[in-house]
Amino acid sequence: MKYVQQIYSTVILRTWTAKRRRMDVNLFCHGNFGFLLQVLKRLLKNFGQEFSSESFFSCNSNSCCCCCLIFFFPDHLALILLLCTSFFTQEDIFQKKKRKDTAFFCTTFAMCSTYLLRVESHFRVIPNDQPYSITDEIEQAKSSRDVRSFTPLTREGIQHISKFYPPVKNAADLDELPKKLKGTEEFGFSPLFDPALVDECCQRGIFPLTQDIGRGFHIFMPKVHKIRAVCALAASPSERNTISGFPFCEDDEAIFRRSCVGLSRKLLKDPDESTRRPCFEMFINRKEDLADVFTLIRKQHGEDWLCKPLRLCLFHMFFNPEKYGTKIVITAIRRRKYDGETEKPDYEEIIEGELVAGEVGFLVGDVYSSASGAYCINGGGSLQLCLTGLCMHAAGCRVWDLGMVMDYKNTLNCIEMPRMKWLKLVAARRSNPNTSIQKYLQEFECGRSVNYLLQRSPVVQNTNPDSKAQQKKRLKAEARARRKNEKDSADS
């Protein structure tokens, strides 16, 4: 019998009451219904039983139905019991007009954990998408000394785009770019994709982006955010307020905490060799993860801001860190792979060793910037965010930059930093040495259990309970409790 991991039980009850003269069917299903049929069919086949979905899920025939009672302990199969039971047909039961007899049977299904099912509904669907191979791009970046590329634009085309976006050719143009932007403008423009230019952007707090201009072509568009979402990686408010260039805040405002992100306990289990318990590991800057991480990002976000020419620049910077001040950081979270052979399941389950979440970012001084991430499992995005923040804090980073302001970033305790303050902060901190940070990150090349960081994460010191921030939190909690009580009263 194949081992089925982390079993859930689903009970189906079919009842009939003569007075109502109909069959009441209560289905409590959890997960993929087709997968349930496959599992039951395999279980019954192993015991020499015939399986028919029609006879199993219907009471309209006189044939015997196989009733499979499966009992599980949390991590291993304990007992399988097969019963053959004859059921009345509806015609037989209808003859007992004055009786309130109830015919029922109970079936418990074996299921794969739904949290291990692969999730792809959020992946971007691109009509007429061009074929691509991240692996070939990586090999090209490794073997080529020059990965620069130039978007073929006419002189008239360059002049036309320059009317809307300031042209950027070198570091001097990047220094002048913030001054040329007016109002809500945020972008510069260049037809050249050059790792050196990408490095100069990152060193100035300018985000490297690209823009699709049609027919499969992209242009380089460095972005100077008008507002940046930033949080401090500090253990206490006093430590946060010592970060040069970071705005002064009260209480625990702008401090990233472990409690900012809600994590499923199912994703935080420790490894168990005996039962091959599903658990997850974190890898950083491992070359074997490059293709999988960028492929996952490409599937989720498409060929939007992270196009092939920019990917080649990032790959080149990753393989040649000594040439650039900006250090590329690749984070991968995978399901742990145990020793021995792993049988691939018939259903869409994350297999051992498979990537579940990943991120690409870069390090400038002691400031870490998250560039893009992706996930393919429920809760994978939250897990990746939480582990990234904890890891960078433990490594010695003082500031975590998350780019443009979005709703989910507010839950991380980010603050909104205006453009000029952000640029000054990066200018003040980019010269800070990050050798110790890189050395710490090297420990994750071999992989660490997700609990390694969670158990060692520093605890943020409690602040004054009478402070304005704490009073605001209490008011929000009271409002949530009041709304819940009102809803419960209305339902009852």
CATH number of domain containing 405: 3.40.630.70
Going residue by residue through the chain (492 aa), what tens digit of pLDDT does each one get? 333 333 333 333 333 333 333 333 333 333 444 555 555 555 555 544 444 443 333 333 333 333 333 333 333 333 333 333 333 333 343 343 333 333 333 333 334 467 789 999 999 998 888 899 999 999 999 999 999 999 999 999 999 999 999 999 999 999 999 999 998 999 999 999 999 999 999 999 999 999 999 888 999 999 999 999 999 999 999 999 999 999 999 888 999 998 889 898 899 999 999 999 999 999 999 999 999 999 999 999 998 789 999 999 999 999 999 999 999 999 999 999 998 877 666 567 899 999 999 999 999 999 999 999 999 999 999 999 999 999 999 999 999 999 999 998 988 999 999 999 999 999 999 999 999 999 999 999 999 999 988 887 654 444 455 656 667 778 888 888 888 888 888 877
Query: Are residues 399 and 470 located together in one domain of the fold?
Result: yes
Give CA–CA dist 404/421, Å, rounded: 15
How many helices and strands (H and E) does the chain possess? 16, 17
Q: How many CA atoms lie within 13 A of 145 on its CB side?
A: 0
- Which of 169, 204, 220 is where one domain is finished? 220
DSSP SS3 for 440: helix
Task: Give the predicted TM-score (pTM) of the model.
Answer: 0.73
Query: Are residues 152 and 299 located together in one domain of the fold?
Result: no
Give CA–CA dist 106/109, Å, rounded: 10
Instruction: Flag whether 298 is in a domain.
Output: yes
pLDDT reported for residue 309: 97
- Which of 198, 220, 242 is where one domain is finished? 220
Query: Are residues 183 and 254 located together in one domain of the fold?
Result: no
Instruction: Flag whether 272 is in a domain.
Output: yes
Q: Which domain holds residue 455?
A: 226-475
Q: Which residues contact 32 (CB under 8 A, 6 or more apart)?
A: 117, 347, 348
Instruction: Flag whether 140 is in a domain.
Output: no
Q: In whole angstroms, how far apart are CA 133 and each of 127, 311, 463?
A: 18, 12, 51
Say how many domains are in the chain.
3
Query: Are residues 170 and 268 located together in one domain of the fold?
Result: no
Query: Are residues 55 and 94 located together in one domain of the fold?
Result: yes
Instruction: Flag whether 71 is in a domain.
Output: yes
Q: Which tokens sit at 411?
A: 């839950």
Instruction: Flag whether 435 is in a domain.
Output: yes
Query: Are residues 366 and 236 located together in one domain of the fold?
Result: yes
The count of other CB atoms within 10 Å of the CB of residue 433 is 10
Decide if 308 contacts 136 (C-beta within 8 A): no
Query: Are residues 294 and 170 located together in one domain of the fold?
Result: no
- Which of 173, 188, 220 is where one domain is finished? 220
Q: How many CA atoms lie within 13 A of 342 on its CB side?
A: 19
Query: Are residues 26 and 165 located together in one domain of the fold?
Result: no
Q: Which residues contact 439 (CB under 8 A, 6 or more apart)?
A: none
pLDDT reported for residue 97: 38
Positive or negative, the CA dihedral 403, 409, 414, 415 is: positive
DSSP SS3 for 356: strand
Query: Are residues 205 and 244 located together in one domain of the fold?
Result: no
Decide if 237 contacts 460 (C-beta within 8 A): no
Query: Are residues 24 and 158 located together in one domain of the fold?
Result: no
Query: Are residues 214 and 310 located together in one domain of the fold?
Result: no
pLDDT reported for residue 40: 56
Instruction: Flag whether 208 is in a domain.
Output: yes
Paired with 481 in beta bridges are: none
pLDDT reported for residue 456: 78
Query: Are residues 307 and 427 located together in one domain of the fold?
Result: yes
Q: Which tokens sit at 61?
A: 């025939």
Order of strands across the sheet that contains 22-27: 22-27, 9-17, 106-110
Positive or negative, the CA dihedral 254, 225, 433, 332 is: positive
Instruction: Flag whether 207 is in a domain.
Output: yes
Instruction: Flag whether 237 is in a domain.
Output: yes
Give CA–CA dist 227/45, Å, rounded: 61
Which of 260, 199, 244, 203 shows the shortest CA–CA distance to 399?
Answer: 244
